Amino acid sequence: MHQPPLETHQPERCRPMTSTVSEIEEVIDSERTTLLNGLSSLEPVRRRVSGKSPADGGSRRICRQPSLGRDIGHAAKETYLVTRLSFKLLRYLGVGYRWIMKLLALACYAMLLMPGFLQVAYMYFFSSQVRRSVVYGDQPRNRLDLYLPSNNDGMKPVVVFVTGGAWIIGYKAWGSLLGMQLAERDIIVACVDYRNFPQGTISDMVTDASQGISFVCNNISAFGGDPNRIYLMGQSAGAHIAACALLEQATKESKGESISWRVSQIKAYFGLSGGYNLYNLVDHFHNRGLYRSIFLSIMEGEESFDKFSPEVRLKDPIVGKAASMLPPIMLFHGSSDYSIPCDASKTFADALQAVGAKVELILYNGKTHTDLFLQDPLRGGKDELFDDIVSVIHADDDEALAKDSLAPPRKRLVPELLLKLAREVSPF
């Protein structure tokens, strides 16, 4: 059900980059991240790509020649990293009865959805429209994936996406399905990776996300993105991290501190199935298996709850005043979400409205935590959440809206029976 959105105003946007460039180096790194002790050994391999500057009449876009050997190497590297993430999760959550059952349920869930996962994985590793592991910072995991539309006619709107993963197993590739499907609608997607616990704690995650956003704001024109049409989105833990980064940036900006990107560069924030008040989540997560001791370690102790709870921070007069700088905010949540109950988005929306921010809350009746992000996109066809996001991004583009109305139904990736079974066994 839609709440009527508050009146919005168009903030001043950043200007496209106009500096002349003759060459752009693309860094394809071969990282071997040591996840258990937080150290990383990086072996970058540089490849130079020529490009004309806008002053020369050319398009400042990074292109890459296909290479089977490089793509296979990327596939092996990503598989290695996902495997290490899984073992790290086991190490910190233990192997008690509760987690053995959850892991068995997760294995069944993944197997049921495997027909779709394999198709997405193939596209992720071998599609020329995916630019994997673009470096945005000097810390481990400071990489992002770019999903580019197939056509190059004009500058494209951009979504910066921060993935979920309980602050422990988040990974940029988790946004690949969303990235590919939005790219089909002429939208560039940048999936930002960030340090997870125990490689980093919440302050590191927020710092990484903010640096990734900064990279996109300042460099996306080189990939064909429109720096005046950038949207920020996060899912689950990623929604929390992105909201923290956005509110922190607004606070710094209001104080006149040095910044590398401006809140006014973000046209809207999309929060999907997020939690924004740590005080309300700690016991809930403990009862679901993310034990209090681990959660407190991730969030740097209960004394940091105020700082990393966007809903609570809005009560601070200084932060509340800075909230007037925030872009329009849209919060999406399933009414049957048990991982993070939809009340988390409801109370955050109330807090935002209380300080005069522009906010809209959209609840999807009967949808769970994974329905909106996994099962529905894998089902193909019409998808309410997808349509809502695209309609906002293309709201001021009549030509794009006309194309959307003629777009063919999205391809089904998993049979309906397997989707229903997966929903029943989902541990989320």
Q: Exactly one of 337, 371, 376, 383 is catalytic; which is it?
A: 337
Using alpha carbons, select from 203, 156, 163, 160 the residue that is nearest to residue 82.
163
Q: Is 240 labeled as catalytic in the residue annotation?
A: no
Q: Is 336 labeled as catalytic in the residue annotation?
A: no
- Report CA 272 to chain centroid distance, whole Å: 10
What residue spans of 335-383 are helical by DSSP H? 343-354, 376-379
Q: Is 53 labeled as catalytic in the residue annotation?
A: no
| Residue-level length of the chain | 428
Written as tens digits, the pLDDT of the chain (428 aa) is: 444 444 434 333 333 333 333 333 343 344 333 333 343 333 333 333 333 334 343 444 554 555 656 656 666 666 666 666 666 655 655 555 666 777 788 899 999 999 999 999 999 999 999 999 999 999 989 999 999 999 888 899 999 999 999 998 889 999 999 999 999 999 999 999 999 998 899 999 999 999 999 999 999 999 999 999 999 999 999 999 999 999 999 999 999 998 999 999 999 999 999 999 999 999 999 888 888 998 999 999 999 999 999 999 999 999 988 998 999 999 999 999 999 999 999 999 999 999 999 999 999 999 999 999 999 999 999 899 999 999 999 998 999 999 998 998 889 999 999 999 999 998 88
Q: Exactly one of 176, 210, 221, 236 is catalytic; which is it?
A: 236
Cα separations (Å) of 179 from 110, 159, 230, 326, 401? 20, 9, 14, 25, 19
pLDDT at residue 326 in the model: 96
pLDDT at residue 158 in the model: 98
Q: Nearest 5°: phi and psi at 265?
A: -80, -15
Helices and strands (DSSP H and E) totals, the chain:
15, 10
pLDDT at residue 19 in the model: 37
Q: What one-letter code names the amino acid at 341?
A: P
pLDDT at residue 106 in the model: 86
Q: Exactly one of 369, 383, 394, 426 is catalytic; which is it?
A: 369
Residue by residue, DSSP assigns 213-242 as HHHHHHHGGGGTEEEEEEEEEEETHHHHHH
74-78, long-range: CB < 8 A, 24+ apart: 74/28, 74/125, 74/132, 74/133, 75/125, 77/30, 77/31, 78/124, 78/125, 78/132, 78/173
